Structure 1
C-alpha cells in the first residue's frame, strides 16, 4: 500500500499494472476500446515497451513527458510507462487551440511529446516555438518517419520486460493542468501515492468498486476526474475500463453503454441533462440496465436533473465534489444515502472545514470558504510561489469554493468564490438561481453572474439556453423571471436575462462564468 514507509520502494505503474498480472489477472480484459480487448498482460507489455522506448530517447528520472492523446490503450500505456521509469507524464486537454500546447510544452519543459497523429498535425507548425522539446512520438498509421518517431516502432522493437525505477511514495508521479474554469491553467504536481489514496478511500469505500465492475467515464483521461474513473480506479481494483475516443455527445455515450454494458458510469451534470433531452427528443428506449450506479462531478448536479434521470432510467446519480489538486472526489453522496441537491458527506480519509474571510471556522449553515485535508492533495503548483502560499495552507488546501455544512454533515455548494454575488449586502449563490431556472420546461442550460449597475450596485443576470421548440422572446424572458420570483426571494431574481446559443464551458463541462462576466462588462447595464 502507499503507506509502506519512508524510503521503501513504491512505483504506481508496478501497483496498477504489474500487480494485476502477478495476481493472476493476465488474461483478463483490462481495456475495452472500439473493436479491441486489451488484457492485463498485453497492457503490461505495452507499458514496458513504452517505458523502454522513452529510455532509448534519453528520458531520465523526473523528465516531463507531454501526453496529447485521445482516450485509448496507448494513453494508459504511455502514462504508466513514463511513471515506471521515474519520468513524469503530463496529460493535456485534446480540445484546445494550437497555441495552448505551446504554453503546456514550454511551461512543463517537456522533453518528449507523445501524441495521436491527428492532434500532432494541428500543432506541428509551431514546433520551433517549443523550447525544450527534443523528440515527438506519434500514434498513427501515416507517420512521416523523417520528422517524428512512430509509436508502432516501439511496439515492434522494444523489449516487453522492464524493471521499475527506484521511486518511493513521495516522488513526483504525474502532472495535471487545471481546467482553466477561472483563468490560465496551472501545473499541478502529484506524487506516487496520490492515486492509491483516492482509490482506497473513494472508489473502494464510496463506490464499493471491485474486480467485477466495468467502468465507463464520459469525462476524458486528461482530467483528474476522468483519469481516476477510466484508468487507475478500475486497474487498481483489477476491474475493466471502457474507453471512448469520440466526443462524449449523448448519441455516442448511449451507444457505448449499450455495447459494452458497464456497471459504473461517470458523467457531468451538463452531459446528464443533454442525455435526458436527447432521449426525450429521439423517443428511444435506451438500455442502461447494466449500470448499478452513476457518478457526477465537475459542477453541482441540479435536483431536477437527478430526478428526471432516476425516473427515466431507474438508477441513482451520486453527486460529489473533487478537484484536480485533490486528485479526485473528497465529498460525495453515498449508495443508499443521497440528499438530492447536496454534494453529500466527507469521503473517508478526508477532513473539511468552512471558514470566514479571516480563516475562522464557521458553525453549521453559514456560508464560507471550503478547505480540505487528505493525503491525495497535490504537492504544489509548478512555479507559482505566491499562489502556493495562498492555496496550500499547512495541511489544508483552500479549494476556492463557497459551501455550507448542515447539522447532519451534508455539504451544500454555493459557488466558486469568484462567482458568488453580494446583493444588498447578502451573499447570493448562482447555483441556487440556476437550479430554479432549470426546472422550467423551456430551459436546458442556465448560468447566473453578478453585474454592476449605474449606481454601482450588484444585480443578478441570467444567461439561458432554450430547448429546441421554444422561442427566445421578451415574453419568454418575463415568463422565466416570474417563474424564479415564485420560488426565490426577490433580491435573488435575475434583473436581466439573456438568451444564448451555448454557454462557455471547459472541455469537462464546467461553466466558465468569468467569460460571461467579460461578455456582460462589454454591454451596458439595462435598468
Structure 2
C-alpha cells in the first residue's frame, strides 16, 4: 500500500480530496515516488494559470506528448479545470504525424517531454506552434522548461474554472486519424461527473473503498486514461508503469496491494508465459477486478487467466465514441466467447446491410449508442455520417446477439475474408493458432485469388528461438487442421520478426495485408 494513508470517505474529486486530505497519496510515479493529492493539484493549478496567461480561452486545445507520469496527469487536470480540450498524443508517432494533430486540433499550447524531443521539435516547427507556447519536461531545444508554465502567476486555482474535456484521436487505419470532440458541459470541475461513478459502478468499484489502480499501458489510450483519472477522482491511488513488464507487474501488485487494472490480451499471454515458479512467487490475492478490452482475447487465454486469478477478470467492449458491453468472469464461464450485455443506458444492436435489426443468432454489423450522448469526428462530417444509422454508430465490427442479449464479436467488417462466397472471420483462426507453443503472435487476412476472390493467409511471429521454415509451416497447418474446419485453414503461412502492434495490443493489420493487394482491388 502507499505509505500515506488512503483517502477516507469524503467529497469526491481531485481538488476536494486535496482540500480535505492533501497528504493522501494520489499517484505512484514509475520511479516509485509517491505524489500526494496536494502536490498533484498544485502542479495542475500552476499549469492552468500559465495556460490562461498565454491567452488560452474556453474551448481551446492543448497537445501533450509525454510518457506516463505525474507531469502528464498534471497537464490533464490543468486542462480539465480550465475548459480546455486536451489531446494525448501517441508517442510512437513521427514528427509529421504529430504536426498533423497539432494543426488539426488547433492546439494553442504544446507540452512535450525530452524523451521525445526530436519529434517534438520537428512537429512544432512544421505545425507553426509559437515558441512561447512550447513547454517540455527536461531540456528540448526551442521549448521552455515546464517549470516556467505558471511561474510568477500567483498561487492557488486559475481565475477561470470550467470543465474541459479530453479530445481523443482515433487510430486512423484508413486515412488520417480523426479527433472525437464532444461539446463542453460547462460544469464545475470540482464536481465529479455522475457518469464516472456510474462507469466504475459497472465494475463494482466504489469511491473510497480501499481500491488501488495499476496502470501498465500508455496514457494516450482512451480507456487507460479514463481508468487512471476516474480512479484518482474517486480516491483510488494510481500506480503508474513506464514500460510494462509481466514480472514487474506482479511485483507492483504485491507491493501496493493492487485491486484493479485495465489490461489487454497480449499482456495476459506474456503473464502466462512466465515460468510457474515466477508466477507463484508473488501474492496477487488483493486483486478484485482486472478489466480487459481493446483487442479480441483467445478463449484459452481467458480460461487460463480465470484459473490463475479467479473470477476477477472482467471483459468489456466499448468505443471512444460512446456505449459498450461488459461481462464478468463468472458470466463468461457460462457464455464463453461473449463480450457481454450492454451497459445500463447503452444500446447495442446488430443490423443488416439495409439497416434492419437482425434476430438473435444472425450475424451482421454491430451498432451502439450511449443514452443521448452525441459526438462528431472533428472536421470530418462524412466519416461521422458514414458511421451512423439514425442515432446509432458502428466501429465496423461484425457479430451477433444471443437469445439472452449477450454480444459475440466475429471480427472487423474490413478484416472479414470472402472466399468463394463464404464469409470467414480471421479472429477465430488467430485465436487457435496463437495457442501453439511455437507462435508468439499471428495475423490472418485475405489475399487475392483469381477463382475464389480471396484466400486465407497467415503471418506468424515465431516464438523466441523458433526457426521459421517449411517444417514449422507444416506443423502449424496440421495443428490448425485439428481445430478448424477445412475451409477456415490458411492456404499459406509467411513469417515476420515482429507484428505491427501498438503498446495497447491493437494490430495494424493493413500494414501486413496491403502489400499483397498492391495493384488489386479488395473484394470488400
Alignment partners' CA distance in 2, 1:302 and 1:39 = 39
Distance 1:361 1:165, change over 3 A: farther
Distance, in Å, in 1 between the alignment partners of 2:40 and 2:258 is 20
Displacement of 1:164: 6.9
Shift of the 89–497 alpha-carbon distance from structure 1 to 2, 3 Å rule, reads same
Q: 1:89 aligns with which of 82, 86, 90?
A: 86
Further displaced range: 270-279 or 371-380: 371-380
Question: Cα distance 1:377–1:97, how it changes in 2: closer, same or farther (>3 A)?
Answer: farther
Compared CA separation, residues 177 and 280, structure 1 to 2 (3 A): farther
1:376–1:149 CA distance, 2 compared to 1 (3 A): farther
1:116 equivalent in alignment to 2:106? no
* Residue of structure 2 equivalent to 1:78: 75
C-alpha displacement at 1:141, in angstroms? 4.0
Q: Which residue of 2 aligns with 1:216?
A: 214
**CA 1:426–1:160 in structure 2 vs 1: closer, same or farther (change >3 Å)?**
farther
TM-score (norm 2): 0.88
User: Which of 315, 327, 332 is equivalent to 1:333?
Assistant: 327
SS at match of 1:464: strand
- Asked if 1:162 is matched to 2:138, the reply is no
SS at match of 1:204: helix
Please provide the CA RMSD for this pair: 2.7
- Write the distance in 2 (CA, Å) between the matches of 1:500 and 1:198: 43
Count of aligned positions = 501
Of the structure 1 ranges 503-512 and 274-283, higher mean CA displacement relative to structure 2 is found in 274-283
Distance 1:20 1:119, change over 3 A: same
Q: Which runs of 5+ in 2 are unaligned?
A: 1-10
Asked whether 1:324 is paired with 2:316, we answer: no
The counterpart of 2:295, out of the listed 291, 296, 299, is 299
- CA distance in 1 between partners of 2:347 and 2:513 (Å): 33
1:332–1:441 Cα change, 3 Å: same
Residue 183 of structure 1: CA displacement?
Answer: 4.6
Matches within 5 A, 1:264-303: 264-279=260-275, 285-303=281-299
3-state SS of paired residue (1:49): helix
**Deviation of residue 393 (structure 1)?**
4.1
Larger mean CA deviation between 130-139 and 47-56 belongs to 130-139
Post-superposition offset of 1:362:
0.4
Q: Does the 8 Å contact 1:207/1:335 carry over to 2?
A: no
What is the deviation of 1:321? Answer: 1.2
Aligned pair partner of 2:169 in 174, 177, 192:
177
Query: What is the TM-score normalised by the length of structure 1?
Result: 0.87
C-alpha change, 1:226 and 1:376, in structure 2 (3 Å) is farther
Contact 1:206/1:347 (<8 A) preserved: no
Check conservation: 1:48, 1:159, Cα contact below 8 A: no
Match of 1:148 in 2: 143
Q: Does 1:468 align with 2:464?
A: yes
Shift in alpha-carbon separation, 1:433–1:15, aligned structure 2, 3 A: same
Query: Does the C-alpha gap of structure 1 residues 44 and 295 become closer, same or farther in structure 2, counting only changes over 3 Å?
Result: same
The 10-residue stretch of structure 1 (204-213 or 38-47) with the greater mean CA deviation from structure 2: 204-213
Distance 1:466 1:210, change over 3 A: farther
Contact 1:115 1:136 in 2 (8 A): no
What's the CA shift string for 1:114-139, capped at 9, x where partnerless? 11122234331453321354534434
Aligned residue number for residue 7 of structure 1:
none
1:138-168, Cα deviation, whole Å (9 max, x unpaired): 3434466xx3222113465343422574647
Q: Which ranges of structure 1 fall in alignment gaps of 5 or more residues?
A: 1-13
Q: Deviations over 1:205-254 (max 9, x none)?
A: 224343211111222211111111222x202322111112x222434434
Q: Tell me the residue number matched to 1:480.
A: 476
C-alpha change, 1:397 and 1:451, in structure 2 (3 Å) is: same
Q: Quote the residue 2:56 is aligned against.
A: 59
What is aligned with 2:5? none
